[in-house]
Amino acid sequence: LEQALGTTMALFVDCPPGLLKMRVLGRRHCSCCGKTYNVSDFQAAGYDYPPNMPPAACLPHVTTRKDDESEETFNRRMEIYRHESTPLLRFY
C-alpha cells in the first residue's frame, strides 16, 4: 500500500461491537420527514449515548428499521470488516 498509494499510516477507531450493534439496531426512520432517530440507550464503560427519540408528529410515520439494519446483516458486515481490516492493522 505504501508504494502504491503513498499511504504511511492508517487511523483505527476502536469501538465496542456491542455499542455498534445497539446503535445500528436502534435506528428508526420517519417516512414523512426523512429523518433518522435512534431509540437505543447505551451508558456503560465511559460511553453515554442517550436515545434520540422522534417527535410526536413523526411517531405515526416511524418505521422500525431499514431492511439492511438487522442483526444478521450487522454480524455479516462486522465479520467482513474484521477480515478486511486485520491485515491493515498488522501492517501499520
pLDDT tens for 40-85 read: 888 777 778 888 888 888 888 887 677 778 899 999 999 999 999 8
Amino acid 1: pLDDT: 55
**pTM of whole model > 0.85?**
no
Which amino acid belongs to residue 85?
A: S
CA distance 17 to 61: 29
pLDDT tens for 14-31 read: 888 888 898 888 999 888
> Read out DSSP for 8-44?
---------HHHHHHHHHTEEEETTT--EEE---EEE
